[in-house]
Amino acid sequence: MPRTVQETRTSLSPGDVLEAARRYFVERNSLYPAFADKTGPTFVTFRGQGTEEIVIAVAPDVVGTRVTGSTYLFDQQLARFFTTLPPPATPVQA
């Protein structure tokens, strides 16, 4: 079953995460590009092949920024984007 919601944390600011997502999905994903559809101060949505949607939301967190992504078909691309983000400032305690 595909992963439809993924989450990570990073030391980047919320705005920097959203800008990194815009660059990543338009410039680095040549086989399955997705283009920014809607944006706000805490989210960006993209449309890709077959109008598939990718949603990325950000929220301040005690260690930086919590990043949540949701998609049905682009789960692998979303996971790869998350690996490009720097880790949080301090380790997250379980």
Query: pTM for this structure?
Result: 0.86
Name the DSSP class of 51: G
Instruction: Rank 2-6, 40-44, 47-51 by mean pLDDT and report only the highest.
Output: 40-44
Sort 33 into a burial class: Cβ within 10 Å, 0-12 / 13-18 / 19+: middle
**C-alpha separations of 39 from 15, 21, 66 in Å:** 11, 11, 17
pLDDT greater at residue 77 or residue 31: 77
| Residue ranges of domains in the chain | 5-84
**Both tokens assigned to 47:** 């449309």
Segment 7-27, tens digit of pLDDT: 999 999 999 999 999 999 888
- Rounded to whole angstroms, the Cα distance separating 94 from 82 reads 19
Q: Quote the CATH superfamily of domain 5-84.
A: START domain (3.30.530.20)
